[in-house]
Structure 1
Amino acid sequence: MRKAQAASRGVSDEDHDAAVVQLRALLRRYEHYCMQTDSSPCILLKNDILLKIDQKHLLKKITLSFPDDKPSDAVLPSLQPLLMALRDERYIHVEELNIWSLPLKHKDVVELCLMLERGGRTVYPIRSLEILDCKLDDWCLERFGKAVNSSYITTLCLDYTCMSKEGLIGLLSRGFGSCQVHSLSLCYCGLGLWSGTLLASLLTKSSVRELYINGNELQCVGATELLRPVAENCQKMAETPKKTTSITDEAELINQLSNTKSSMQRKSAHKGKKTKKKRGKTKSRPEAKEGPWLKKLHMFDNSIDNQVPNQLKRLMELICILVKFSSDLIELDLGENHIGEDSGKKLLEALKDRKAAKLSPIKIQVSTRMSTETFSAILKSSKELKSGKKKRQKKRVTIEFQMIKH
């Protein structure tokens, strides 16, 4: 019975046994290199490996983290033993790699980048990379930007990495224009007004469609620079079908008639013949959309307020354009940004226009610093948005407090 169930899922007992053998070898090799390099094995990683051994499943998500409950003079985990163990065992099943609160040296960064890049002898198809609070300098960011260009990564998170203007330029200028990253998270990275133009250029040239920049200091000016090309392209794409419909109607009708006629001719030609076995249908790839557009935008706590009314007014005009016309936008986080009552009413009107246009609802979060009526109406006109990024901020504070305490 067990074999039958495994076969129905496409997994054999041999596959389960092979997974156990691989994981045991990986754990032994990892502990061996930890002793060699005088570093402490990561307890979380060891537990994850042992759990997968019990389940007889491959480990596809690896998390290497700083031990919160150890004294400051304790031996810390290191990235080197893990990388060496993965290489020696040719363990190519990791899809998600998380490195939390572990200061990385230049050597660590180089070794990790060589593993991510597709030009090596062994391919490690890591698709999600999260480097959280690892104290990366400008050189490390530039090296990661280069590695991402030739990797399989689609989701990149560099939260709590303090970035200068040069560091962000180095990260974005190396390879984001041609890589396949669609989700980028730069929360609590110290990004200021200057980052708006750089991020706008990123969205214009790359495939990034989910942008998380919570806890930064873009303010109205930086956020306006970021959203201007996205909003302009969104409005342009919304107006284009209205202008071209009347011109293309006749051509579309001719094409439909032609397709119908050819279909009838094919049916008559095959009449009376034996039907051949159907082959699998090959779906054509959808055409890439022109210009920058966003699916998710999280700008929680970016010091956006009404201190300079004209700046907030311009920003809200761009946000309202996105809300009205973007059929792709599904999440918008403006929490802890004090947009005020007037901007709240404009956002509410944009949500009503979106509903009238029969576009899908957006998950929205806004600050409560507006009238109860306007705030409640915005929530009723949208879906509730819960952001997981704020929990990471609390974790960071806890880590720093424990380090100071010790």
Structure 2
Amino acid sequence: MIKPGLHRSRVDSEHCKTMRRAKERKQKPKGTPPSVVPALQKFLKTYQKHCMQSQTSLCPAIQRDLKNSIDREQILRKFMLVRAGDSTASHLPVSLEPLLMTIQDESYTLGKEVCIWGLQLTNPEIARLALFLESKGQTICPITTLEIINCKMDLWSLGRLGKALQFSSLHFLVLDYCKFGNEELESIFSGLENNQRLQGLSLRYCGLGPPSGPKLGSVISQSAICELHLDGNHLQCSGTLALLRPIAEYAEMEGKDQSTLASPHTGNPPLLPQVCLGGSSALSQIVKSSEAATVKRTSQRERGKRGIGKKVKRLMEAGPWVVTLHLADNSIDRTGKEGEQLLDLTRTLTCLIKYSTHLREIDLGNNVLGEMAAVDILEALRARKTGKLPPLKITVTPRISSDTFTSIWKHSKKSNRTSKRKKKVKN
């Protein structure tokens, strides 16, 4: 039994906290931006209304994040759409449509990311999403990052989504753990070619095989995509070679053209827009530190000054070059007929390392390239350093001699975490 005095003290304590928060809100200094709380509260009510009207379940993650943002008086920029509880018949399904309708009804332009995890997306949901991405004028879509992870979509939905990508304002697209066949890939890639807004693409663990290599190479050559995550697929030697060949050829041509000029790489090397930098496993983390810029295919490219959180009015020019390339765990080795192309792949890869002024990070982990290929990579890194090209962070499997692995690690660009730790130790 709780004593009356103890209960009263707890109530008084909670009352004091509530009064203190209200007082802090009233005593905000002049010039502070208006509170986002009313907008978020209205957003939550509208979302609940649309879920009720469509007979779908409230997404627990969205409801939680909205309430947390209201309590902290913070802007909610990322919407996480996940299943509600157990996927049994007694539970209403979570739908994407109520969320998109709420964003449009409330003209909520502060949200920049929509992440959909593990849902069976229906044709009406994808149709609504496509219209949402294509929206222009006064109702322009504010979303710059779209993640559809481990979701099921039929061929019609993928085709509709692919068409929408041509007209969307997306900067990053993540389709990890969505299994794609040849037809499905064609549907998605149809909206990526000649796309001058999308800068990051992630297709990790999507079941991509060697036939996907030429399609990926074509997309990279004809779009502004400069960050590509393909970990956990089965591109093998031939698929990886088809992907890298146009990029390496362009880098070699650009490098030789610049070598005929008056030492363009002495001093400061060509700079890239920050929007393409940073090889995080989740593309959504890069948005915070990214910048956007107009990229001109000249000997030097200008660094953007405006953040990606703002509207990007200028388009990036398409070209066969990348900044971040993740190819970990893609069955690249000497086994089978595919292994016969490892030598050609190594030549192409080392050419890219030697000449690319744009490349900043490449991940080849969990691929057994062998000692000879590793030595060639090491020589290419040395040549890159001699040519005074920007530093390159490269990851290879440790299944090579310890001397070669250590040398590659030393020539690779050190991570920011390592440099920060060193500074802390010195201080």
- 2:346 corresponds, among 316, 327, 345, to 316
Match of 1:237 in 2: 254
- 2:179 corresponds, among 162, 172, 177, to 162
Q: Counterpart of 2:122 in structure 1: which amino acid?
A: K
Shift of 1:52: 1.3
Shift of 1:174: 3.2
Q: Counterpart of 1:164 in structure 2: which amino acid?
A: G
- 2:392 corresponds, among 359, 362, 366, to 362
CA contact 1:114–1:120 (8 Å) conserved in 2: no
SS at match of 1:35: helix
Deviations 1:304-344 (CA, angstroms, capped at 9, x unpaired): 00125540111111111111111211110101111011111
Superposition TM-score, scaled by structure 1 size: 0.78
* CA 207–375 in structure 1, closer or farther in 2 if over 3 Å, else same: same
d(CA) in 2 for partners of 1:75, 1:225? 45
CA contact 2:224–2:319 (8 Å) conserved in 1: no
Shift of 1:242: 2.6
d(CA) in 2 for partners of 1:31, 1:64? 14
Shift of 1:25: 1.1
**The 10-residue stretch of structure 1 (79-88 or 117-126) with the greater mean CA deviation from structure 2:** 117-126
Q: Counterpart of 1:208 in structure 2: which amino acid?
A: I
CA contact 1:331–1:362 (8 Å) conserved in 2: yes
- Asked if residue 293 in structure 1 is aligned to residue 310 in structure 2, the reply is no
- 1:333 corresponds, among 339, 357, 363, to 363
CA contact 1:161–1:188 (8 Å) conserved in 2: yes
Q: Counterpart of 1:113 in structure 2: which amino acid?
A: A
Q: Counterpart of 1:294 in structure 2: which amino acid?
A: V
Match of 2:205 in 1: 188
SS at match of 1:136: coil
Deviations 1:144-203 (CA, angstroms, capped at 9, x unpaired): 121121121010111111111111111112353134101001111111111111011101
- 1:123 corresponds, among 118, 129, 140, to 140
Q: Counterpart of 2:252 in structure 1: which amino acid?
A: Q
CA contact 1:153–1:181 (8 Å) conserved in 2: yes
d(CA) in 1 for partners of 2:294, 2:180? 37
Match of 2:167 in 1: 150
Give matches, 1:53-68, under 5 Å: 53-67=70-84
* CA 66–383 in structure 1, closer or farther in 2 if over 3 Å, else same: farther
Match of 1:70 in 2: 86
SS at match of 1:288: coil
Match of 1:371 in 2: 401
CA contact 1:364–1:385 (8 Å) conserved in 2: no
Give matches, 1:29-44, under 5 Å: 29-44=46-61
d(CA) in 2 for partners of 1:92, 1:199? 32
d(CA) in 2 for partners of 1:223, 1:306? 13
d(CA) in 1 for partners of 2:326, 2:223? 18
Q: Which has the higher helix share?
A: 1
Shift of 1:92: 2.5
| Percent of aligned pairs with the same amino acid | 38
**The 10-residue stretch of structure 1 (305-314 or 203-212) with the greater mean CA deviation from structure 2:** 305-314
d(CA) in 2 for partners of 1:244, 1:123? 44
d(CA) in 1 for partners of 2:294, 2:207? 38
CA contact 2:209–2:235 (8 Å) conserved in 1: yes
CA contact 1:136–1:162 (8 Å) conserved in 2: no
SS at match of 1:383: coil
d(CA) in 1 for partners of 2:181, 2:362? 26
- 1:305 corresponds, among 319, 333, 336, to 333
Shift of 1:225: 0.6
CA contact 1:220–1:315 (8 Å) conserved in 2: yes
Match of 2:154 in 1: 137
Match of 1:209 in 2: 226
d(CA) in 2 for partners of 1:64, 1:367? 35
Match of 2:372 in 1: 342
Give matches, 1:64-103, under 5 Å: 64-67=81-84, 70=86, 72-73=88-89, 74-103=91-120
Q: Counterpart of 1:201 in structure 2: which amino acid?
A: S
How many residues align structurally?
340
Q: Counterpart of 2:46 in structure 1: which amino acid?
A: R
Deviations 1:26-50 (CA, angstroms, capped at 9, x unpaired): 1112122223333221111111111
Shift of 1:121: 5.6
Shift of 1:363: 1.5
SS at match of 2:188: helix
CA contact 1:20–1:56 (8 Å) conserved in 2: yes
Shift of 1:384: 5.4
* CA 358–179 in structure 1, closer or farther in 2 if over 3 Å, else same: closer
CA contact 1:334–1:366 (8 Å) conserved in 2: yes
Superposition TM-score, scaled by structure 2 size: 0.75
* CA 366–385 in structure 1, closer or farther in 2 if over 3 Å, else same: farther
d(CA) in 2 for partners of 1:104, 1:186? 18
